Amino acid sequence: MRRAVCPGSFDPIHNGHLEVIARAASLFDEVIVAISTNYAKKYRFELEDRLEIASETLTYLRGVSVRPMGDGLLAEFCREQGANLIVKGLRSSADFEYEIPMAAMNRQLAGIETVFIPAEASYSHLSSTLLKEVAALGGDISSFVPKAVLKRLSEDPR
Ligand code: PNS
């Protein structure tokens, strides 16, 4: 049984995330999308919203579940979930530089391997931060995020 954890803030989840999760689902038996909370971080969407958006959006993928990760160590969360793989999408060399030390640390802490999935070129410019900025300034992000995100944004524009 290959059970992988795909962690992130997902604030909000976007089409680049969805594409990586779908590819992970085709590689592994189970993929747990783990939504993090970092109390030092200010989120645009509450944890409950981030969980609901991801759950609603990912129902079409078999073997994928969405769970809160809490604010602890990712390695510990993986151990609790019985997962020995972490999946991350890579958009650029900057992502690679950022991810490599964390992958080494998670392996040393708990023997957990990190598998990187290169982002599809048409999504490699997407980030939640950029999309939130575009949306806040009135830009159209409808081709980059699932409908559940657009619905929340229209209910609570800021
Ligand atoms: O979407 P993000 O904000 O880039 O996700 C970052 C996340 C949640 C994957 C990362 O912050 C993380 O792994 N947090 C858990 C805390 C932890 O384990 N830190 C040590 C990493 S080796």
Q: What b-and-e string marks burial along 32-49, b requiring 16 or more CB atoms within 10 Å of the CB?
A: bbbbbeeeeeebbbebeb
Give the model's confidence band at 157: pLDDT under 50 very low, under 70 low, under 90 confident, else very high.
confident
* Cβ of residue 90 lying under 6 Å from some atom of ligand 1: no
Average pLDDT, the chain: 97
* Cβ of residue 73 lying under 6 Å from some atom of ligand 1: yes
* Cβ of residue 106 lying under 6 Å from some atom of ligand 1: yes
- Measured CA to CA in angstroms, residue 34 lies from 55, 66, 92, 123, 139 at distances of 11, 6, 22, 21, 29
- Cβ of 140: how many Cβ atoms within 10 Å? 9
β-strand pairing of 30-36 with 113-118: unpaired
Token output for 100: 């490599």
Q: Which residues are catalytic?
A: 17, 41, 91, 128
The answer to whether the pTM exceeds 0.95 is: yes
* Cβ of residue 9 lying under 6 Å from some atom of ligand 1: yes
DSSP secondary structure, 59-94, as one string: TTSTTEEEEEEETS-HHHHHHHHT--EEEEEE-SHH
Q: Ligand 1 pocket check: which of 13, 74, 100 to mutate, most ligand atoms within 8 Å of Cβ? A: 74
- What domains sit in the chain, N to C, each tagged with a CATH number? 3-155 (3.40.50.620)
Average pLDDT of span 140-153: 97
37 C-alpha to center of ligand 1: Å? 9
- Measured CA to CA in angstroms, residue 82 lies from 5, 57, 116, 152 at distances of 10, 24, 20, 33
Average pLDDT of span 38-53: 96
